[in-house]
Amino acid sequence: MITHSKDKQLKQMFAGGLSAAITRFTCQPLDVLKIRFQLQVEPLKSSAVESKYKSIPQACRVIFKEEGLLAFWRGHNPAQVLSICFGTTQFWTYEQLHLITKQTPYLRDRPNFSNFLCGATAGGAATVVVSPMDVIRTRRIAQDKNKGYTNSFQAFGNIIRTEGPRGLYRGVVMGVVQIAPLMGCNFMFYRLFTNTALEMKGVTDRKQLSTVLLLSLGAASGMCSKTIVYPFDLIKRRLQIQGFAQNRQTYGKQLVYAGAINCLLSILREEKLIGLYKGMIPTLIKSGATTAIHFSMYDKLSQIVEKL
C-alpha cells in the first residue's frame, strides 16, 4: 500500500497546525459568545428580564463592561493549544486515510462518501486527543470573574485532583458524536463545492482557485455542516460544566444533568426545541468564518510548504 513520505506528512501536520492557530485567534470572540449563549438556560431575547444575555450586541456590551476587552479571548491559551493539536491531528489523519481510499476501488468511485468517511474519522480522532483542553477552555470561558481557575495549568491539576482523569473527558462521547459527522460534512461539502468550482472554471487543481473563492466555499461548507449537528455541540458544552456550578453563580439557573439523554430531555422540557439551537447565530457566523479560514489557509499553506 502506498503511503505519504515522512517529509510530506510533517508538512501536512505543519500546515494543519498553523492554519488552525490563525483561525483560532481570529474567531475566538465568536466562540466566547457561542459558549456563553449555549450555557444560559434563560431565553435569548430582549423581553426576557431574567436573562443575562439577550442578543449578540447586548452580550458584547455586557462582557466588555463587566470583564473588559480581553474577556473575548478568555480561554484562548488552551483553545489555541486545542486548535493546533486538533488541526494537526485532523488534517494529518485525513490525508493518510484519503490516500488509502484512493487505493480502494469501492471508495475511490464514491468521492463524496469517501471524503465524509475520512473527515469523520479524522474529526473523531482529533476530538479524543484534545478533550482535556476543550473541557478546560469551556470552564474558563464559563466561570465568574475572579472565580474558578486562574490559569490552564491550575485548572488541569484541580480537575485531576477533585474529579480524576474522567473529569478531563466530560462530554467526550457527545463530542465525538457531534464532531465526527461535522468534520465529515465539512470535508465532503468543501471537496464537493471546490470540485464543482473547478468544473465550472474549467481548471483541474485547487491551486488555480482564488483565495476569495476558497474562503466562500469554506464558509458555505461550515455553515451547512454546523446546522446539521449543532444540538450535539450544545449538549456537549452543558455536560462539560457539570460539577463546576460554584464558580459560575452570576450566569442564571445552574445546569444539572445525569447524562446526555437527561440533558436532551431537560432542554426539550424546559427550553423547548428552540433551546437546542441557542447560540446558533454566532455559531453559524463563527463556523462559516472558521471553516473558510481553516480550509483555505490549509490549502494555501500546503502549497507553500510543498515548495520548501
pLDDT (tens digit, 9 = 90+) per residue, 55-69?
A: 999 999 999 999 999
Helix, coil or strand: residue 42: coil
| Cα(60)–Cα(75) distance, integer angstroms | 16
Take residue 48 and report the three cell numbers written for it.
426576557
- Judge whether 292 and 30 are in contact, CB under 8 Å: no
The answer for residues whose C-beta is within 8 angstroms of residue 33's C-beta and 6 or more apart is 56, 59, 60, 63, 279, 282
Q: Band of the pLDDT at 290, cuts 50, 70, 90?
A: confident
Take residue 219 and report the three cell numbers written for it.
464558509
| Cα(14)–Cα(18) distance, integer angstroms | 6
The pLDDT of 134-141, averaged and rounded, is: 85
| Cα(14)–Cα(173) distance, integer angstroms | 28
Question: Does the structure show a pLDDT above 90 at 125?
Answer: yes
Q: What is the structure's pLDDT at 42?
A: 86
Rounded to two decimals, the pTM is: 0.63
Question: Does the structure show a pLDDT above 90 at 171?
Answer: no
Ordered structural domains, the chain, with CATH: 6-306 (1.50.40.10)
pLDDT (tens digit, 9 = 90+) per residue, 83-107?
A: 888 888 888 899 899 989 988 889 9
The answer for residues whose C-beta is within 8 angstroms of residue 252's C-beta and 6 or more apart is 40, 41, 42, 50, 51, 52
